[in-house]
Copies of this chain bind each other. A is one copy, B any other.
Amino acid sequence: MLIVKKFGGTSVGNKERIFNVARRCIEDYKKGNDVVVVLSAMGKSTDDLIGMARDINPSPSKREMDMLITTGEQISVALMAMAMGALGVPAVSLNAFQVSMHTTHRYGNAQLKRIDTDRIYNELEQRKIVLVTGFQGIDKYDNVTTLGRGGSDTTAVALAAALRADACEIYTDVDGVFTADPRYVKTAKKLNEITYDEMLELATLGAGVLHNRSVEMAKKYGVQLVVRSSLNDHEGTVVKEEVNMEKMLVSGVAADKNATRIAVMGLKDEPGIAFHLFNVLAKHNINVDIILQSVGRDGTKDISFTVSEDVADEAVVAIQKSFPKSEYKKIDEEKDVAKISIVGAGMMTHPGVAASMFEALYDAGVNIKMISTSEIRVTVLVDEKYTEKALNAVHERFSLDE
């Protein structure tokens, strides 16, 4: 079997943890498997490098930022190779050049285009464990790029696809994917299986276990993922196309506190005004989530939408710059809001799921500010202070603890 394993920064944060990871990989290797390991930078080392950079230049060139922070993963893979060497197992570390990991040239948020597999196969044939730097790539001019948030997961999935791996295991600090965040919902249960689509909705909605780009890629190339803990031997959650057992109505409930609601009030009710508004945001690369348009007074309309907190102020400024003061009455920005979502592949064939969720929130005294739905998801916006209450109410209503 060819197994791709990915460990995050926390899992390689110190010497003890590095050896812990080394031993887990060697276990599979000694069973005769080919083992490829993708690693992130150690602990908070990427943040430290970013801190050094910003101290020197508050808005550094993105190219140089990528050049800087990619050293983090290189340190991880080199130290891991040494740890495996200390345990008597031959290992070789490879960075994005050496693999090579070809990407687009968008620094800080590049897309993987193609992975060369020759070098990796060659090292595996020599019975070495191959350690690959996650998160990074090279563009066609040999510039160093990074894949953006959750990039190491994407590296692992892409490698698994390119190498036609038999398994792709994403190790994290939790046991797998849960019906809800165990920090907020005491009765949350680990799921044994989940579909790509459900996972995609959960990843986008802040479940935080897997990055959505990696799940999209896994779905596209049919790479079956296992999300499991690096700290114990529990089985983890399998992410795949079809869940074999009877589809659950609702697989899980997720919260995302990193949301801001922006309302542009009293816009002129003219054709194209919504297009103009969201076009401005798109030009600033700001992702908009829930959108709600309502008719205001005196022939005006209000448009509300949510964006992630870190770009909210930028969004407001962008709108103020693009719309003359005469075209709207005011802009409201509300940061103390959270998105609560339920996700389930079974929802498609079962009407009334959304209504059940709303009822549960009503019973718990949680007011709903906005609503958005997809085929397998229902999301509502609530006051941030109700996050925990809302999660628990919904979790209980759909009997996710059973």
Spell out A's residues near B (CB within 8 Å): 15, 18-19, 49, 52-53, 55-58, 60-61, 63-65, 67-68, 70-71, 74-75, 77-79, 81-83, 85-86, 92-93, 95, 97-98, 119, 142-144
Ranked 9 nearest A-B pairs via Cβ? A68-B78, A71-B71, A57-B86, A57-B82, A67-B78, A60-B82, A64-B81, A64-B78, A97-B97
> A97 and B142 in contact (CB under 8 A), knowing A15-B55, A83-B56?
yes
Instruction: Establish whether residues A98 and B142, one from each chain, have CB atoms under 8 Å apart when the complex forms.
Output: yes
Distance in angstroms between the alpha carbons of A15 and B53 in the assembled complex: 10
Q: Which residues of B contact A64 (CB under 8 A)?
A: 78-79, 81-82, 85, 92-93
Contact of A56 among B74, B82, B144 (CB under 8 A): B82
A49 to B79: give the CA distance in the assembly, Å.
Answer: 9
A390 to chain B, nearest CB (A): 43
Q: Would you list 19 pairs from A and B whose C-beta atoms are within 8 A, ordered by A residue?
A: A15-B55, A15-B56, A18-B56, A19-B56, A49-B75, A56-B79, A57-B85, A60-B86, A63-B92, A64-B78, A64-B82, A64-B92, A65-B82, A67-B77, A67-B78, A67-B81, A67-B93, A71-B71, A119-B142
Interface secondary structure of A, over-half rule: helix
Give chain B residues whose Cβ lies under 8 Å from the Cβ of A78.
53, 64-65, 67-68
Q: Nearest chain-B residue to A55 (Cβ)? A: B15
**A79-B68 in contact (CB<8A):** yes
Identity of the chain B residue whose Cβ is nearest the Cβ of A138 in the assembled complex: B97
Report how far A60 CA is from B92 CA in the complex, Å.
12
Name the B residues within 8 Å of A81 (CB-CB): 61, 64, 67
On chain B, the residues within 8 Å of A83 by CB distance are 56-57
Minimum CB distance partner of A99 in chain B: B142
The residue on B at minimum CB distance from A100 is: B142
Q: How many Å lie between the Cα of A86 and that of B54 in the bound state?
A: 10
* Interface pair A85/B61, CB less than 8 Å apart: yes
CB-nearest residue of chain B to A143:
B98
A79 and B93 contacting across the interface, CB-CB below 8 Å: no
B53 engages A79 (CB within 8 Å) = yes
By the criterion CB–CB under 8 Å, are B74 and A68 in contact?
A: yes
Q: How far is the CB of A82 from chain B (nearest CB, A)?
A: 4
Q: Which of B58, B60, B74, B143 is in CB contact (< 8 Å) with A67? A: B74
